[in-house]
């Protein structure tokens, strides 16, 4: 595995790159949505760093996953906290690790159940190899190349840290 930078360092880069991207796109007053759990922790920090006015929103995409048979049901299902109106809103979707793309697909499915956003900007702290769906982040803190048996997970919320796990094939 390539060394993963400390999450706090990556957050600074992510906030700066995200601020520049929003400015280039002319997006003001976006709605930030963090995906439970790691993405919600990051979104909370980014929300403060970017001084966004709109309240922070969160998603729990457990019921929108398409891979229950492989990963099992999440025993810690939490409620999604979204404003009643996301129609035509610019959304910043935040997740910790972009791997297969299935989490992001599930998050977008849930968002579209609430309305049709004007745009969705995806911000991920780490992007890694192993994509199964054609989904990519607009802003990334770091890109890692991991073996297929390696998985990286953000732990936190305080302090934020990385946990590397090696999954032995069955």
Contacts by 12-16, CB closer than 8 A, 24 or more apart: 12/49, 13/141, 13/142, 14/42, 14/46, 14/123, 14/125, 14/139, 14/140, 14/141, 15/46, 15/49, 15/50
Statement: residue 108 has pLDDT above 60: yes
- Give pLDDT, residue 71: 46
Query: Would you list the DSSP string of the chain?
Result: -PPPPPHHHHHHHHHHHHHHHHHHHT--SPEEEEETTHHHHHHHHHHHHHT-SSPPEEE--GGG-S-HHHH---TT----B--S--TT-EEEEEEEEESSSHHHHHHHHHHHHH---SEEEEEEEEEES---SS---SEEEEEE---TTEEEEEE-SSS-EEEEEEPPP-
Q: Sorting pLDDT into bands at 50, 70 and 90, what band is 81?
A: confident
- Give pLDDT, residue 40: 95
Range with lowest mean pLDDT among 19-23, 107-111, 134-138, 155-159: 155-159
Q: What is the pLDDT of residues 35-64, one digit of tens each?
A: 998 999 999 999 999 999 999 999 999 878
**Which has more confidence, 71 or 76?**
76
Task: Tell me the average pLDDT of the chain.
Answer: 89
Place of tokens 């610019």: 90
The yes or no reply on domain 7-66+78-166 and CATH 3.40.50.2020 is yes
Q: Sorting pLDDT into bands at 50, 70 and 90, what band is 69?
A: very low
Statement: residue 113 has pLDDT above 60: yes
HSE toward the beta carbon, residue 17, CA cutoff 13 A:
17
Range with lowest mean pLDDT among 59-68, 74-83, 116-125, 133-142: 74-83
Statement: residue 82 has pLDDT above 80: yes
Work out whether strand 150-155 and strand 139-144 pair parallel, antiparallel, or are unpaired.
Answer: unpaired
- Give pLDDT, residue 166: 87
Determine if the pTM surpasses 0.85: yes
* Separation of alpha carbons 108 and 11, rounded Å: 23
Average pLDDT over residues 9-23: 96
- Give pLDDT, residue 87: 94
Distance of CA 102 to the CA centre of its chain: 11
Taking the domains of the chain in order of start, what are their residue ranges?
A: 7-66+78-166
């Amino acid at each position: 595995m390539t060394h993963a930078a400390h999450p706090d360092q990556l957050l600074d880069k992510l906030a700066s790159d995200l601020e520049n991207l929003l400015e280039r796109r002319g997006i003001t007053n976006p709605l930030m949505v963090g995906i439970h759990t790691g993405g919600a922790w990051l979104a909370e920090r980014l929300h403060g760093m970017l001084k966004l006015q709109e309240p922070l929103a969160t998603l729990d995409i457990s019921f929108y996953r398409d891979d229950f048979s492989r990963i099992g049901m999440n025993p810690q299902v939490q409620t999604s906290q979204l404003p009643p109106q996301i129609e035509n809103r610019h959304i910043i979707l935040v997740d910790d690790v972009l791997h297969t793309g299935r989490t992001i697909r599930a998050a977008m499915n849930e968002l579209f159940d609430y309305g049709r956003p004007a745009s969705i900007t995806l911000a991920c702290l780490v992007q890694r190899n192993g994509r199964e769906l054609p989904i990519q982040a607009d802003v990334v803190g770091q890109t890692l190349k991991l073996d297929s048996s390696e998985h990286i997970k953000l732990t936190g919320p305080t302090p934020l840290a990385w946990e590397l796990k090696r999954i032995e094939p069955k």
